[in-house]
Each structure stands twice: as structure tokens, then as C-alpha cells.
Amino acid sequence: MSATKLGSQDMLEYDAQYGVLICRKCQYAIQKSAVESHLLRHKIYWEERQKLMSSISQHNVFEPHEVPLPASDSSPIDGLPVLIGFRCSVDGCGSLFASSKRMNHRQKERHAGIPPCSAREVKLQTFFRGTKIKYFEVTEAIHTEMSGIEMQASILGEIETLEEQDLVQQQLLKPSLTDYKTETVSYFYCFNTQTSLTIPCTESHYWQREVVPLALANRWLMCGSLGLSAYHLAVTNNQAMFGGDHTENSSQLFSVFSTRFNEAKICALRKEGSEVEKKAYIAGKQIEYVIS
């Protein structure tokens, strides 16, 4: 069933199969009650906003609890980012997690006595953000080149997901670095569009295509990536770019990265360590080499 694009720039997309209205810029579904404020946030003003609201009213937009989840063998939903995650392999469970830390914590609570890392790597998506996050498994990743604006919107959505899952050590970061709509997302945007292009690598787009999804699932690797971006801006005398003290920020971010990297190393090198943990460790080793 094809999706219906709405608006002069096709910013919104209504998927009749699941009854969701997806913002293609932000890459997540908008709740019915939040549509008008969401449009205003994108600077879509009265006349065009009213036209869009009229078009949207002709479609049946479900509330989050009404949205059916795709089957696990479904292809990815267009317009939503694909994350690397885990499915619990304990009989009768099958819970989905976007981070190994959260998975391990839940398994200890629910499945006492089972071997650690009883899970398999999967690709995940979610229609909604915040308190309405509910992951579902898909069968393959979408490999598309994104423009700078699309990349920033995607990253913002994913960092908001990480905030909901408590994947950032807020006590180790100053308040400005936990304001995900300013410095943090700007650093990640800069990482993808500038910093990653300056890091030597034999594989084309390795940092954007491989490291970014891993960083979104591992807080320590995200802090390392953000730290590289902040340090890059500092040494290139771009203190005015995005605002903030990039030297101080990079130091704080690298502190979090270094603290957690040793723990990640132990997890990755143990016999039952997952493939994702090993890939994240390899990426972390490269960041460690760059900052050493």
C-alpha cells in the first residue's frame, strides 16, 4: 500500500497501512494532537498550515496505542531511521532493545540465571519518540545518502531516543551538553558532515554508515564521536561555530568515552560478546588512536 505525501515539499507522509503521519524531516511519526504545533516548529505558517491540516483531516491518523506493528519479516518503513539493536533470545521473551546496556539490565531483572548476552542482533525501527517509543524488527537496513538537513533531523530524532533510554551520563556532562537541540546535535551533525571526512579510513563512508548507528546504540561511543567533533572545531579555531567552548566540551566528552571504553572492551572480548559489541569496540579503538 503506497504512502501519501502531503505538503508543498512532501514533508509529511501518511502511511495508510499503519495509520501514521510521518515527518520526513524529523523521521518519526507525529501524534494527532501534536500535528499543528509540529508544523509551526518547522515554520509552516497559517495559510499553508491550514491547507495541510485540511488534507490531514481526510486521513485516519491513529493514536500511538492503536498503531499496528509490522511483522518482523517486514521491510523497513520508508521515512524512519533503522537502528542496530537486539532481540532477547530467551524462550518466550523476544523483547527488543536499542542498547546492550538496557538489554543486559532487563535480562538480569526478568531472566535470572541465564547466560549474559542471550540475544541476537537485529534491525529496529520505531514510529514514535519520547514516552511512545515502541520498537519493531525489520529485515534489512536502508542505505541512502542524506543531505545535511536530513542528517541533522535524523540525528536529532535519534538523540531524543537516547535521552528517553537514559544513554547519556548527564552527571558527567555540563547542562549545555545535555541540551540535545543545541550543542549536542550540532556536534553530531558536524561529525557526519565535516569531522568524519578528515579521519583516515580505508572504507568509504565507514564513519557515517557504520559508526553512527553504533554510536546511537552505545553512549560511550557517541560521546567519543561528539568529542572528536568538538575537538575538531577547537583545533580549527572554529570556537564561534555552533557556539560554546569546544575545548572544554571535548574534554568532558572524552572523559565519558574513556571511562566507559574499558568496560566496553571487556564486554566485546569475552567469548559471548555480541557482534555489535565487537564492532563498537573496534570503532572505539580508532577513536582512542585519533585522540592519543
Residue pLDDT, tens place only, 10-68: 889 999 999 999 998 888 999 988 898 888 888 888 888 899 999 999 999 999 999 99
Q: Which residues of the chain have pLDDT under 50?
A: 141-181, 242
The predicted pLDDT at position 109 comes to 78
The predicted pLDDT at position 171 comes to 35
- Residue 19, phi-psi category: left (phi > 0), alpha (psi -120 to 50), beta (remainder): left
The predicted pLDDT at position 19 comes to 95
Question: Can you tell me the distance from the alpha carbon of 291 to that of 286, in angstroms, rounded to the nearest whole number?
Answer: 9
The predicted pLDDT at position 272 comes to 58
The predicted pLDDT at position 247 comes to 80
pTM given for the model: 0.49
Cell numbers found for residue 199: 579521519
Digit-coded pLDDT (tens) for 263-283: 777 776 665 567 777 888 888
Task: Give residues with Cβ within 8 angstroms of 136, minimum separation 6.
Answer: 69, 70, 72, 74, 96, 124, 125, 126
Question: Can you tell me the distance from the alpha carbon of 195 to that of 193, in angstroms, rounded to the nearest whole number?
Answer: 7
The predicted pLDDT at position 159 comes to 46
The CA-based angle 46-50-55, given to 5 degrees, is 150
Question: Can you tell me the distance from the alpha carbon of 44 to that of 24, in angstroms, rounded to the nearest whole number?
Answer: 14
Cell numbers found for residue 217: 546504540
Task: Give residues with Cβ within 8 angstroms of 5, minimum separation 6.
Answer: 12, 13
